[in-house]
A and B are shown apart, each in its own frame.
Chain A
């Protein structure tokens, strides 16, 4: 966070146990930083809090039990937030590298993206893998990251007819967004590659590879590298940690 000035959120009690803190109506780096700092502050005050769900611009807090009066809790949170503004932010984003094979074996819609963007295959791969993406939130499916920002040159409308099944690990472009399918599911995004990483695996010690706040980069790999990584991860699922580059 470049500045230590905090935005005071608008507060709504949205249920017996839920409070919505809204920081803005827009998507942006500054709002994202505020949302992240606020979440990290709340995580340290967790005795009444069941969980905290961030989005681009809001933080929703779910409480462990019905409180007789919810306002004092809100007041205390806001008072702490004001204190926070006087100190330095204390969170760092993790940096992840996601290997992606863009080979035609996996990149089923590369032609369509080329046609739509007017770019060559190699240019698409370069633009897609050059960008450092920020994970704004996770949802829609378990472990599915909402990433910003795709290079606008790569924006391609969703498929007119979604596929009934898209394999897990598929990397795609849907409109102005890019993302990774954590599990096999129906999908309408343009498929441009596949990662051998299982970003969601409920039986792994860390079921979710990507967390909100992580920054990530796609690294182009060959089919041979794809197979090697996949084999390695089948033997040692926890070795996925090697793709976390720093903390």
Chain B
């Protein structure tokens, strides 16, 4: 308790996903506060771990041709150390560059003519 974490877990997650999955886009949100009350987290908080839940949005060419399950496994594999040291849960949005591009188009449609 008390010792300031200099390198945040969010930064470590970012670095690990970047290098393992060659992410072309990466957004990490620490949403631990949303889970602060629940039982498993209270135990970790007592051990000084406050960064337990994250939303991860990742675009990687390595997801190409992979099922959702496999994509999530790739993310979890890259973050194995974090998961062993108090990271409880990730919400993962995993897209290939092509999918991300297609989504961006439907969300911001360019008007015809």
Q: Are the chains A and B members of one assembly?
A: no
